[in-house]
A and B are shown apart, each in its own frame.
Chain A
Amino acid sequence: MAKISDRELVDQARGGDAQAFGALVRRHQKRIFRLAFHLVRSGAEAEDVTQETFVRAYQALDRFDGRSEPFTWLYRIAVNLSLNMIRARKPSRNSTPADDPRIEALLLETRPSHGVDPAATTQQRELAAALCDGIDTLSDTLRTTLILVCIDGVPHEDASRILGCPEGTVAWRVHEARRKLRVYLAERGFGGDAE
């Protein structure tokens, strides 16, 4: 299962190989979409961010110096686009709507083990809504770092490159975001280990 590396695909795409760029898109679009989805909290907007990420990356292929991995480069573009989109929005809502797509996604993930009990399902939904609320109350800095590291599973080292901050800062932000999130959930009766 020998695969062409991302760097090779970037090199080929830089030389005008559209198929190589297509392979790069297919390889990373799910992760980019997932990241954008959690950042902008909307499937449609996440789809726009994903497309724009690759388009901008394609425009800037010549600027890719190869010092970092291509996916961290794509991630940085996606984070910037998502933040731009969030900041361009009107401050509209104060709480997570019941039809937040993140709640559905989270319930879908856990449904096989709990879906048979309506009471449990209701509790799961409340918990998911509280979790989304808690994440949304975080600052952009903490929320972005939390989503990158905890939800998307980006290592601290890569997250530090994406966010342009030291690795220690990433770790501190993750710790702080989790602490605040835990407190938020504890105040609403979910979990009792608020610090």
Chain B
Amino acid sequence: MNVTSKLDLDRMLNDWPAPAVDEAAWETRAARIVEVALSRRSEDTAAVADLLAAPDLAAEPGEEQTGDILREVRAAGERSTMADGSEPGRASKAEARLSGGSASRPPEKKRPSLKEIAERASQAPGRMSGVSGSSPAHSTPLPSGRGPLSTPLPSGRGPLSTPLPSSGRGSMPPGRGSLSGALRASSPSLRPAEGVTEDSGVIDLNRLSASVPPEQVESAEKAQPGTADLLDEDEKPAAVAAVSVRRPRAPSAPLAEAPVKKRSGGMIAGAALAALGLAAAVTVVVKTRAPSQQETAAAPPAVLAPAAPREERPAQPAAPVAAAPAAPVENAQPEPQPVEAAEKLAAAPKAPAAPVGAGAAAPAAPASPAAAPRPEQGKVAAAPTAPGKPGDLPSAMQAAVGNDGEKQPSVVSEAPVPASGSLRQQNIPEQPSQGSVQAALGSVMGNARACVAGADDVSRAQITFSSTGQVSKVSVSGWAAANGQSSCVQAALKGANVGPFSKPSFAVSATIRP
């Protein structure tokens, strides 16, 4: 009876009997109870109603702040959270008993609806401040002939416009493409129709775009994201010169500073990554078309990599791959230095190549995309280093990642294993928590009691859980064992599950009272 652990306390409580009374005394009491009950059958039945109601127990302080404790107890054992439970009526009754009750809860903060968000988004700077879209007076009818979602796709896009998907996204950055003059001339205070009627959750993007002021449209038209250049250059390589000519005008616009900032960092990195991807793709294509490249593996790839752009840049300025590296530097320098461009290109592949452990082979990866656009020169070194068949996709991929690329999968595949293993170890407790043991036994104790119903003595069971949380062994003693109910009790207790734990086994004793 040493209270040094939690289970000892529970055992003390579980084994706490009532004063012993012999069977004859119980029988005498039962007979007297029946006699009294029969004699008082008809009297005072109104008072029974109070006794059949739930006991009037005041809620403890803290009960209203808790979550669903049952799940918590089964999962973690000892954290004290509690919920209102699954029965709303009882929960409300319990809350009603609280001194503070639910009335003391702070009112939930009102969230802005989609309607309000759409209205704010559609508001022009400096006008129509506040949420006023709920008033129909603020909505301007759409131009005739334009219903919701009926905005035609931009058709007369210039060389700088980003291609739009064919789903009719009329609410792309305002001013993009062919937002018609009628739209620009419409009132800037145009509000989406759903904003004035009901909050259906559907935002009419066309109407939003129609409500943009002309100055925003104009400034946005001048500000092009970095991807626009890349995509346009893919389609129209000749437009590169036009871009470089037209962009210097952007700073003259009052709102053109933001696009300039955007171009500075992310645009360079994005363009470099896109160029690498394109170069790798072209490498694959070139390998399929030029099987004779295997003969040209004479020069070391590390040397060829930086040299490649220097030779190729003036020769093919309009080639898709060659134009891509030029994009990051075209704003700063109309004539970019090829060495810098090659270094920037080589910087990205170095990172994935480093874990492979081949220091000499690392530069080979950037060499292949850089040299890929020159199949006719016969000096491409990256592709020929691949030992596979020419035109074979695996060999092309291997060439793209370098000579030691085959080592990478092993490194990559090994990495997640210890991570997930340690994660699993962290989640599994050493032994089941007291709460989970109680919950597990409580869930099966009713069936076990049914086995010993009518017994005049207690039964005890030693339940051993395996590390999976399931019951591996049940030893029954006491009344159940003496009266042939061991199997019944065992079967009942076998259903307990405390959840997985790391110890090999965990035993707990339980007293089964009739």
Q: Measuring CB to CB, which residues of chain A are less than 8 angstroms from any residue of chain B?
A: 1, 3, 18, 21-22, 25-27, 29-31, 33-34, 37-38, 43, 46-47, 50-51, 54-60, 63, 73, 76-77, 79-81, 83, 101-102, 104-106, 108-110, 114, 124, 127-128, 131, 139-142, 144, 146, 149-153, 155-158, 160, 162-169, 171-176, 178-179, 181-182, 185, 190-193
Contact = CB atoms under 8 A, between A and B. Distances in A.
Contacts of B86: 166-167
Please classify the interface of chain B as helix (H, G, I), strand (E, B), loop, or mixed, using the class held by over half of its residues: loop
A155 B445 contact: yes
Interface string B1-28: 1111110111011111111110000110
A18 B283 CA distance: 96
Contacts of A172: 60, 62-63, 66, 69, 80-82
A169 B9 contact: no
B90 A165 contact: yes
B13 A80 contact: no
A140 B58 contact: yes
Nearest to B511: A153
Contact of A38 (B2, B16, B36, B84): B16
A172 B1 CA distance: 25
B34 A25 contact: yes
Contacts of B484: 1
A166 B30 CA distance: 33
Contacts of A105: 16-20
Interface of B: 1-6, 8-10, 12-21, 26-27, 29-34, 36-38, 40-45, 47-60, 62-63, 66-70, 73, 78, 80-87, 90-91, 93-94, 435, 438-439, 442-443, 445-446, 453-454, 483-485, 511-514
A142 B60 contact: yes
B359 to A, nearest CB: 56
A116 B42 CA distance: 54
Nearest to A177: B60
A172 B51 CA distance: 25
B55 A164 contact: yes
B513 A31 contact: yes
Given A77-B52, A144-B55, A192-B4, A160 B85 contact: yes
A59 B16 contact: no
Contacts of B26: 26, 29-30
Nearest to B10: A150
B12 A47 contact: no
A102 B56 contact: no
B90 A175 contact: no
A37 B17 CA distance: 9
